[in-house]
Amino acid sequence: MTRIRIVVADLAEAIFYDSTSLAAAPKEVARISDPTAHLHDRDLVTERAGRGYESFGKARHSIEREADPRYQASMRFARRIARKLDDARRNQEFDELIVVAGPPFLGLLREKLSKPTSARVVLEVHKDLVHMPLADLRRHLPTSAGELSRPH
């Protein structure tokens, strides 16, 4: 019997489901959230960007941050989801993985998955379904193994 783990995620929340087959109803096994996802940019940054002088002349300009704080928070959350999936894979909790997320976050998540976990991905669904009922999720999943195609 194949054990399928389905992760449905966005920038703020991830829901993990398990299923014994594509035809069976998935059961929620875990849920994690990122409380920083709902903060304003001003709450994510502790100080304003610094000021600097041009190398020639008296003009001043602000020094840009290394990266956008919201993007950094998204990367941390994607890394957290990937670690949870890695732990589950090492504990042999699933054989196949289906990842469901909107395109921007799916790309971040794909980046953070380890090679062994990534090798178990059998389907990626490019939809943000984390706040939708389970019935909506099921409509976007295949019902047979013949409909699966490895994304890599």
DSSP assignment string, 116-128 = HHHTTEEEEE-S-
Partner residues linked to 19 by β-bridges? 4
Kindly tell me if the per-residue pLDDT of 53 is higher than 60. no
Encode pLDDT of 102-114 as tens digits.
Answer: 999 999 999 999 9
pLDDT classification of 129: cutoffs 50, 70, 90: very high
Is 89 strand, coil or helix?
helix
pLDDT at 72: 87
DSSP helix, strand, coil percent of the chain (3-state; round to 5): 35, 25, 40
pTM over 0.95, yes/no: no
Alpha-carbon distance of 103 to 100, in angstroms, equals 9
Q: Please give the pLDDT value at position 91.
A: 97
**pLDDT of 63:** 45
Domain spans of the chain, in order of start: 4-147
Instruction: Give 120's Cβ-side CA count (13 Å radius).
Output: 24
Burial class (CB in 10 A: 0-12, 13-18, 19+), 126: middle
CA-to-CA distance for 135 and 10, rounded, in angstroms?
18
Burial of 52 (0-12, 13-18, 19+ CB in 10 A): exposed
Average pLDDT over residues 37-54: 53
What kind of fold does domain 4-147 have according to CATH?
Nucleotidyltransferase; domain 5 (3.30.420)
